[in-house]
Structure 1
């Protein structure tokens, strides 16, 4: 199973963290097993990341002496964490580490999918890569044929088999002296009993809130019958069908298929949200495009979905006392202190998460809807 320590609550807490006495050292480590499948390869990846971290810490000058000393101390702590016998990577394909000793911050998150290795030093944790891992939807995969049922529950990266049963049904060797019609009716009655048991098990798990969405893996010719046996509260959770060998497929094979299925679903969802953004923008209602308009909407707490191109980075202004954000040439409503940031993205994401807005980071090569809007846009809850 793939570990995932990212939850919406932890993401919001990190996004809301502001360094007061020190600076936040954010590190992402790629542990893709296809690239780092040996201890030597992992050691090389860790060494490259730590080398980059040392360079970033040495080059960082936007802090007083105590904050810079704190960064050096944090770097030593990270080096200890990433020692070959200490690295907390069990079940992880990536790691995110946030350290700010002067402000008592040390957070290590295991990630279920690879991330690009990088180091960022700033006043707030670099959380943009984590927005892809915060989905807490619990899935149930029911693998069902005419006699066997297996159930797996969890996130796509951590599905675990939680139960199974195999009902005895009449086989060809059981026909004995029965007529063909009587034997066939007996077989169908056994199947009906079996499917009713499946339906009851899924309904009980749904009532106990053990899963949010359901995927059925059944032989093609049995799909309609299995689905028809489900009670209404289970059918409402049904998200789709998978084609798998119910009896022989391994849990890891199921997890791989489900991860691919969910990723395709995320891509479809991103396209739907971007299409909705384009529609609202064309109607000149409930949409902001371009960094200046999006920052205004964020400050006014009107954002429903923040849309960003992956790798988006733009300079901006911030008032640390009021959390106002803007671009060069804009001024806050009060005469507060103004900080200039080479990249305002993290502050924009933090402000979006604080108002429970959705943050959707999309590939600029797959999704061109934001290209004319400076790589950033927003769907709004309401207009001014």
Structure 2
């Protein structure tokens, strides 16, 4: 039997295994932390996000969108040498994406590159200090930046919207544990098993004792599974829990959960223990999507309720960016696809929809920003706030009635 029940939680080491035939990459909080550290004193980070969904590619091929992004970025680079380096890197990465890094299965691409050395003679040759790419299960907002640090807002938006979900797959003697996150499933390298040999069926007067013994073993196994759920779930930060298995195992295990974990349970499903990662993912996906839709609805209803009470909530872009400048936003709500231009202060980074070239807060110079909604999202993350991108059609109609953007406030 596994020793996790007696293993101190602080010594529990979690790692994941995953292999997805759809070609997505599994991006975790640890991945984000590594990307945050990408910074070289004299170098620039090339950050690229592309929406690669079939419908978007049909509407506007990625190459056209890429060229437009690169042209806009180039216009913002004042230093001649940096602009020359950018031109070569942008050209090289376009060819790499075209020939090597595009996957039709993925709905989005994220790429980060830091050039070490560039040869400007003849055919340009580039050596990269860092070259990292991820194929995303969800489409990001098209973004291209050339800056001192990696641009992480599109990834952070996806991760903030999709809470980690624990998935348990069990039968009468074994248990497997998975993480479902960002449309992906990966398996923890920890499993539970009951190594008590099953007795042969008793007859006569022994039959009752045999059935009782089976019931006791089943109960013991379920309690061990609960122990795994509690320890792994706490350390991995599971927001929700889904349970799969054969026969009555999912329902019986659900009944053994303490209230804290029953409240996190979003459903059960039938699946054999030997199911592969894709089968686990596809079984858990509709449960998670329903839970996310419900969470979106509850957040929206809470916001509208606070607006009606005229307390700790704002709506509309100008009121929202004012609250952001004051550090008051707990949860930012924005309709999917909503964008708006505006201005950002170069000194205090306050945002405004006004055309004033002078910041109303500090008197600093403001510059035009093509999408202050996206900039606001970045700043909310920087203030440890949450972001809810509203996608459900019924909820989008409500968002439109309130200016497509708003916030629940801390104070």
Runs (5+) with no aligned partner, structure 2: 1-19, 117-127
Tell me, in whole angstroms, the C-alpha distance in 1 between the residues paired with 2:273 and 2:293.
30
Tell me, in whole angstroms, the C-alpha distance in 2 between the residues paired with 1:117 and 1:326.
21
2:72 pairs with 1:72:
no
Asked whether the equivalents of residues 329 and 409 of structure 2 are also in contact (C-alpha less than 8 Å), the reply is: yes
Q: 1:316 aligns with which of 338, 342, 355?
A: 342
2:261 pairs with 1:235:
yes
Per-residue CA distance 1:148-204 (angstroms, 9 max, x = gap): 332123243132154253566768x72345554344323323323333433344455
Q: 1:194 aligns with which of 207, 216, 221?
A: 221
Match of 1:39 in 2: none
Tell me, in whole angstroms, the C-alpha distance in 2 between the residues paired with 1:96 and 1:188.
51
Task: Name the SS for the 1:4 alignment partner.
Answer: coil
Tell me, in whole angstroms, the C-alpha distance in 2 between the residues paired with 1:274 and 1:340.
30
Match of 1:341 in 2: 369
Match of 1:7 in 2: 29
2:110 pairs with 1:84:
no
Note closer, same or farther for the CA distance 1:361–1:89 as it changes in structure 2 (3 Å cut): same
Tell me, in whole angstroms, the C-alpha distance in 2 between the residues paired with 1:166 and 1:294.
55
Task: Name the SS for the 2:381 alignment partner.
Answer: helix
Match of 1:379 in 2: 408
Runs (5+) with no aligned partner, structure 1: 37-43
Measured after TM superposition, the shift of residue 300 of structure 1 is: 0.5
Asked whether the equivalents of residues 25 and 100 of structure 1 are also in contact (C-alpha less than 8 Å), the reply is: no
Alignment of 1:1-384 (within 5 A): 1=20, 2-5=24-27, 7=29, 10=32, 26-30=48-52, 48-58=61-71, 61-64=75-78, 66=80, 68-79=83-94, 81-82=96-97, 84-85=99-100, 87=101, 93-98=107-112, 108-115=132-139, 118=142, 120=144, 125=151, 127-128=153-154, 130-134=156-160, 138-145=164-171, 147-156=172-181, 157-160=184-187, 162-165=190-193, 174-205=201-232, 209-210=235-236, 212=238, 213-218=240-245, 221=248, 225-230=252-257, 232=258, 235=261, 238-247=264-273, 249-328=275-354, 331-363=359-391, 365-367=393-395, 368-382=397-411
RMSD of aligned residue pairs (Cα, Å):
4.1
Tell me, in whole angstroms, the C-alpha distance in 2 between the residues paired with 1:260 and 1:110.
24
Asked whether the equivalents of residues 11 and 130 of structure 1 are also in contact (C-alpha less than 8 Å), the reply is: no
Note closer, same or farther for the CA distance 1:349–1:137 as it changes in structure 2 (3 Å cut): closer
Per-residue CA distance 1:75-126 (angstroms, 9 max, x = gap): 13413542634x2869955311356869x99774524414168455688948
Tell me, in whole angstroms, the C-alpha distance in 1 between the residues paired with 2:31 and 2:191.
30
Per-residue CA distance 1:1-39 (angstroms, 9 max, x = gap): 34232539838977xx9xx99896633152x6xx69xxx
Q: Which moved more, 1:151-160 or 1:264-273?
A: 151-160
Asked whether the equivalents of residues 131 and 359 of structure 1 are also in contact (C-alpha less than 8 Å), the reply is: yes
TM-score where L is the length of structure 2: 0.72
Measured after TM superposition, the shift of residue 218 of structure 1 is: 4.7
Q: Which moved more, 1:156-165 or 1:271-280?
A: 156-165
Tell me, in whole angstroms, the C-alpha distance in 1 between the residues paired with 2:195 and 2:260.
21
Would you say how many aligned residue pairs link Structure 1 and Structure 2? 362
Note closer, same or farther for the CA distance 1:350–1:182 as it changes in structure 2 (3 Å cut): closer
Per-residue CA distance 1:196-253 (angstroms, 9 max, x = gap): 433344455457x2553432225575555433444x4873674233121334533321
Note closer, same or farther for the CA distance 1:167–1:158 as it changes in structure 2 (3 Å cut): same
Task: Name the SS for the 1:311 alignment partner.
Answer: coil
TM-score where L is the length of structure 1: 0.76
Tell me, in whole angstroms, the C-alpha distance in 1 between the residues paired with 2:404 and 2:34.
23
Per-residue CA distance 1:327-382 (angstroms, 9 max, x = gap): 11564222211212232122211211111111111227341222023211111111
Measured after TM superposition, the shift of residue 281 of structure 1 is: 0.5
